[in-house]
């Protein structure tokens, strides 16, 4: 398997623009997680899905952030409008089951810079 695939790898945009990050989880995995990593706050869980259904979005910072998982092989994280403080590395991860029993596999991340 190719592992978790994220695109784009780098995104530079201007404040106010819409940004869409994409993720393809490992085939057969039924959990998908979106994380944000910054120097100040470390690795934060934004939202996760089970069988394409959002389970916990308590980590989503504001209404400007939204995530969807239309099918088992694709998810998006959208920021609209983007702000400079959204600059971070965004990771998608997937797992075959509960965190306490199954490893989470992370993608390579998308480095977002909002000017």
By CB under 8 A, name the binding residues for other proteins: 4, 31, 33, 42-43, 45, 48, 50, 55-56, 91, 93, 95, 97-101, 103-109
Helix (H) or strand (E) holding 46: strand 42-50
d(CA 56, CA 1): 27
Please, which residue, 37 or 81, has the CB nearer to other proteins? 37
Residue 91: CB minimum distance to other proteins, A: 5
**Contacting residues for 66 by C-beta, under 8 A, at least 6 apart:** 60, 77, 78, 80
CA distance 89 to 110: 5
Minimum CB distance to other proteins, residue 67 (Å): 15
CB under 8 Å, gap of 24 or more: what pairs does 56-60 form?
Answer: none
Min dist. Cβ of residue 60 to other proteins (A) = 14
Q: Of the two residues 81 and 102, which places its CB atom closer to other proteins in the complex? A: 102
Residue 17 or 51 having the CB closest to other proteins: 51
């Amino acid at each position: 398997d190719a592992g978790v695939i994220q695109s784009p790898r780098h995104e530079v945009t201007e404040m106010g623009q819409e940004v869409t990050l994409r993720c393809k989880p490992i085939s057969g995995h039924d959990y998908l997680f979106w994380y944000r990593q910054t120097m100040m706050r470390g690795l934060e869980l934004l939202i996760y899905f089970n069988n394409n259904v959002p389970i916990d979005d308590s980590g989503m910072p504001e209404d400007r952030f939204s995530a969807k998982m239309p099918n088992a092989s694709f998810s998006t994280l959208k920021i609209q409008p983007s702000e400079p403080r959204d600059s971070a590395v965004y990771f998608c991860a997937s797992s075959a089951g509960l965190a306490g029993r199954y490893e989470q596999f992370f993608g390579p991340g998308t480095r977002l810079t909002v000017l």
